[in-house]
Amino acid sequence: MTFEQLVCRAYMERINLGERGFYATPGVDFNRETGKGHPFLYYTNGVAASEVLIDRFTGEMKVVRVDLLMDAGKCINPGIDRGQVTGGFIQGMGWVTTEELKYAESGELLSHSPTTYKIPNISDVPDVFNIAFLDNPDNVVSLKGSKALGEPPLLLGIFVVDSGEARDFFCGCGCGAGI
């Protein structure tokens, strides 16, 4: 019997060829009621600083410089880590600067895909974009000492609108309150 025949037979006999599983990370023992314990196996930390120019007449914003420092644990492949940090940060920057939720009168979400709102692209990467990794060979709880770097830098994109001038501009009053 060929693989194709086997799959067809399983389909005809309503036999599920898929499976699902769940993984319980060892050492994670957080009690939601008491707020005590360890909710994660490890933490990925980072810091960012952004230089942002805003034309106060047109509202055009340009991020001219970003400096990032990430605790990557022990890098297995620095090139991949750099790509993950860049992608996550630029996605987060787009989230807080160009993405906008728009709804119809009926409540239907109109900006539901990249065809209906502007996602960041290569031209949104600042001319000066520095990434450095904190050397942390002491991380022993994850695979070969590395840390996840795809999602954590996304939240560092908030630094773009939290810069002083951007905060004042978006507040509309020059006081920086409200953001």
Active site (catalytic) residues: 151
Residues 6 or more apart in contact with residue 67 via CB below 8 angstroms:
48, 49, 130, 132
- Judge whether 23 and 41 are in contact, CB under 8 Å: no
The Cα 159–Cα 93 span in angstroms is 8
Residues 6 or more apart in contact with residue 52 via CB below 8 angstroms:
61, 62, 63, 64, 160, 163, 165, 166
- Other C-beta atoms lying within 10 Å of the C-beta of residue 48: 22
